[in-house]
A and B are shown apart, each in its own frame.
Chain A
Amino acid sequence: MIPAQFDYVRPTTVDEAVQALRDGGDDAKLLAGGQSLLPVLRLRMADPSLIIDLGGIPELKGVREEGNEVVVGAMTSHYDVTRDDTLRQHVALIGEATKTVADPQVRHRGTLGGALAHADPAGDLAAPALALDAQFVIAGSGGTRTVAAADFFEDYFTTAIGEGELLTEIRFPKYTGWGARYEKFNRVAQAWSIVAVAATVKVDGGKITDARIGLTNMAGTPVRARGVESALVGQSASEDTVRQAAQAAAEGTSPTADADAGSDYREHLARVLTGRAVLAAAG
């Protein structure tokens, strides 16, 4: 189908985009990579009166180091995230998860910021962002503010980005030398995650000294598996200890039941995939 009619603007700076949002009122919609929005427009599940295309704003693209952080512009494509050496070296988990998003064509267009702002509970990038304690920089008419990942994801498709605001940057602390693995369980190629686990661990002399684990699609928002994290610290990175620690993976989750899986099966998957992800990350 063809989308319903809308007006279109393509600002060249963040300030212009904020102004366009203000001018556009309730009915304006931001277009990042468009790989979720365009299908929704085509199916006429949304009919905004104004589309604000963020594709022409150079300051929203690219990866840079700033002290102990790696800063990723919200409009950096999935493709560029997977190929960036700075991220590979310091924040390996985000690239591991991004490699599994959709398919190559979608990764060419889709963006890190767009996917995070869309906040689909089955999307693959929210759980790693949560596990990595990312900070979200949000611009509005009053300037910018920064929101921690733990406060950014509020509910199904709902984030802390307010009316008249847009996500400009995602800031990751460095996890240099940590192992990383995104273990995704889905039905067929390019399908959404039924459950997935994002794990990054620091291993020293065969022992796990630190661990961060985030779960995809185990609630309306991504969930930190803190029970597993604390159970892993100080343990050897062996199969038995990791699988034992992973038994706590489903604690505090509230997974949905749908045509792909019931809630109890999702809890089972969380435990199994957490074990696999941690072992692979530690290996």
Chain B
Amino acid sequence: MARIRTTVDGLVYEDDVEPRMLLVQYLRERLGKTGTVIGCDTSNCGACTVHLDGMSVKSCSVLAVQANGAEVLTVEGLERDGQLHPVQQAFHDNHALQCGYCTPGMIMQSIDLLGDNPDPSEQEVREGIEGNLCRCTGYQNIVRAVQDAASKMKPGAAAPTQPAGQPVAGGGA
């Protein structure tokens, strides 16, 4: 067992974990953060994407012990005071989901993309989410939603990818 201390969606957690425990298992099975889903066994699909110290990662391809001392942001930590994150709202407004299974990962990766490139072209959006698969093949509305979110987050409004110190609504303990 290894002792880890991790900030997840603005709250600090300390736990003993087996070294082999994947970050996605830790989030789902220990913290109950089932908003982050497991879609494949091959690291291809991106459904489990979360942010680790501000960078998108596939949480099936990171060990929980590797998140020791780090900040994790999941799709459950995006909402603020009952308000969806602009990217969540844009996915809603543009019907950017069919079955919805890829949606948490798509949203987390889209926020990461907009942090690096606040005004991506359609091609840049497609390349930015190339690590996320939508098995319904509903990419058109996803791309539309990301561009819609980009336009609504302008001007000067950087993606609030980190909780910036204050507790986050919705982060269940």
Contacts and interface: CB of A to CB of B under 8 A. Distances in A.
A3 B20 contact: yes
B130 A103 contact: yes
A38 B2 contact: no
A275 B126 CA distance: 27
Contact of B62 (A3, A79, A109): A109
Contacts of A103: 46, 130-132
B134 to A, nearest CB: 12
B56 A2 contact: no
Interface string A103-121: 1111011000000000000
Interface residues of B, number: 33
A38 B55 contact: no
Given A2-B22, A190-B44, A39 B61 contact: yes
A108 B66 contact: no
Contacts of A38: 22, 43, 60-63
B128 interface: yes
A1 to B, nearest CB: 6
A189 B112 CA distance: 18
B20 A105 contact: no
Contact of B109 (A53, A105, A109): A105
A102 B128 CA distance: 11
A41 B44 CA distance: 15
A133 to B, nearest CB: 31
Nearest to A2: B20
Chain A interface residue count: which class?
20 to 34
Contacts of B132: 103
Nearest to B49: A105
A277 interface: no
B26 to A, nearest CB: 12
Contacts of A190: 44, 130-131
B19 interface: yes
B63 A34 contact: yes
Contact of B19 (A6, A55, A105): A6
A104 B113 contact: yes
A8 B65 contact: yes
B33 interface: no
15 contacts: A2-B20, A2-B25, A3-B22, A4-B20, A5-B18, A5-B19, A34-B62, A38-B63, A39-B61, A42-B60, A43-B42, A51-B19, A53-B66, A103-B131, A189-B127
Interface of B: 2, 18-22, 25, 41-44, 46, 49, 52, 55-58, 60-63, 65-66, 109, 112-113, 126-128, 130-132
Closest 8 CB pairs of A and B: A103-B131, A8-B19, A189-B130, A108-B55, A3-B20, A38-B61, A39-B43, A105-B131
Given A108-B57, A109-B57, 18 more contacts: A2-B20, A35-B43, A38-B22, A38-B43, A38-B61, A38-B63, A39-B42, A42-B41, A42-B60, A55-B66, A104-B109, A104-B128, A104-B130, A105-B61, A106-B131, A108-B52, A108-B56, A189-B127
